[in-house]
Chain A
Amino acid sequence: MRVNLTVNGRPAHAEGVWEGESLLYVLRERLGLFGTKNACEQGECGSCTVRLDGEPVCACLVAAGQAEGREVETVESLAGAAGLSAVQEAFAEAGAVQCGFCTPGLLMATDALLRREPRPAEAEIREALSGNLCRCTGYEQILSAVRLAAARRAEGAR
Chain B
Amino acid sequence: MNAPAAPGGFGGVGESAGRPDGRQKVTGAFPYASDLRHPDMLWGHTLRSPHAHARLLGLDVAPALAVPGVACVLTARDLPAATHYGLDLPDQPVLAEGRVRYHGEPVALVAADHPETARRAAALIRAEYAELPGVHDEASATAPGAPLLHPDRADRYAALVPHPNVVHRQPVRRGDLAAAAARADVVVAREYRVGMQDQAFLGPESGLAVPDGEGGVDLYVATQWLHVDRRQLAPVLGLPPAKVRLTLAGVGGAFGGREDLSMQAHACLLALRTGRPVKMSYRRDESFLGHVHRHPATLSYEHGATRDGRLTHVRARIVLDGGAYASSSPAVVGNAASLGVGPYEVPAVEVEALALYTNNPPCGAMRGFGAVQACFAYEAQMDLLAAELGLDPVEFRQRNALSEGSVMPTGQRVDSPAPVAELLRLVKERPLPRPRQWETRDSATGARRVEPRALPGGLGRASRGESVVRGVGYAVGIKNVAFSEGYDDPSTARVTLELSGDEPVATVRTAAAEVGQGGVTVQTQIARTELGVSRVVLAPPDTGIGSAGSTSASRQTYLTGGAVREACAAVRAEVLRRARERRGRPADGPPADGLRLAEGKVVTAEGEVLAGLAELLEAGPVTAEREFRHRPTRPFDPVTGQGDGHVQYSFCAHRAVVEVDTELGLVKVVELAAAQDVGRAINPRAVVGQIHGGSLQGLGLAILEELRVDAAGRVRNPSFTDYLLPTVLDAPSMPVDVLELADPHAPYGLRGAGEAPTLSATPAVVAALRQATGRALRRVPVRPEHLVGLAE
What residues make up the interface of A, taking CB atoms closer than 8 Å to B? 18, 20-21, 28-29, 33-42, 44-45, 47, 74-76, 78-79, 84, 88-89, 91-93, 95, 97-104, 107, 123, 125-127, 129-143
Contact = CB atoms under 8 A, between A and B. Distances in A.
What's the dominant secondary structure at chain A's contact region? loop
Contact of A127 (B721, B729, B734): B729
A92 B283 CA distance: 28
A36 B251 CA distance: 15
B26 A88 contact: yes
Given A34-B35, A100-B252, A136-B693, 9 more contacts: A36-B28, A37-B252, A39-B202, A92-B26, A93-B7, A100-B516, A132-B727, A135-B199, A143-B728
A39 to B, nearest CB: 4
B430 to A, nearest CB: 16
A141 to B, nearest CB: 6
6 smallest CB-CB distances across A and B, nearest first, come from: A35-B28, A99-B516, A138-B692, A101-B252, A100-B25, A44-B720
A89 B255 CA distance: 27
Contacts of B34: 37-38
Contact of B202 (A123, A135, A140): A135
A154 to B, nearest CB: 20
Contacts of A20: 116
Nearest to B254: A99
Nearest to B699: A138
B260 to A, nearest CB: 18
B204 A84 contact: no
Q: Pick the most buried of A28, A37, A91, A97: most chain B CB atoms within 10 A of its CB.
A: A97
Contacts of B696: 138-139
A137 B695 CA distance: 9
B32 A130 contact: no
A145 B121 CA distance: 45
The size bracket of the interface on B is 35 or more
A92 B22 CA distance: 5
A123 B23 CA distance: 28
B19 A92 contact: yes
B522 to A, nearest CB: 13
Given A99-B203, A99-B253, A138-B734, A126 B26 contact: no
Interface in B147-192: none
Interface string B13-41: 00010110111011111111011010000
Contact of A136 (B21, B28, B31, B253): B253
8 contacts: A34-B31, A74-B28, A92-B18, A92-B19, A95-B689, A100-B25, A101-B201, A123-B453
B728 A130 contact: yes
A99 B453 contact: no
A34 B28 contact: yes
Contacts of B252: 37, 39, 99-101
A130 B580 CA distance: 60
Interface string B291-314: 000000000000000000000000
A84 B453 contact: no
Nearest to A35: B28
Given A39-B252, A88-B26, A107-B26, A135 B200 contact: yes
Contacts of B251: 99
B685 A95 contact: yes
Contact of A132 (B23, B30, B693, B728): B728
Nearest to A25: B115
B281 interface: yes
A139 B255 CA distance: 17
B689 A137 contact: yes
A151 B741 CA distance: 36
A18 B116 CA distance: 9
Interface in B234-267: 250-255
A92 B23 contact: yes
B26 A39 contact: no
B731 interface: yes
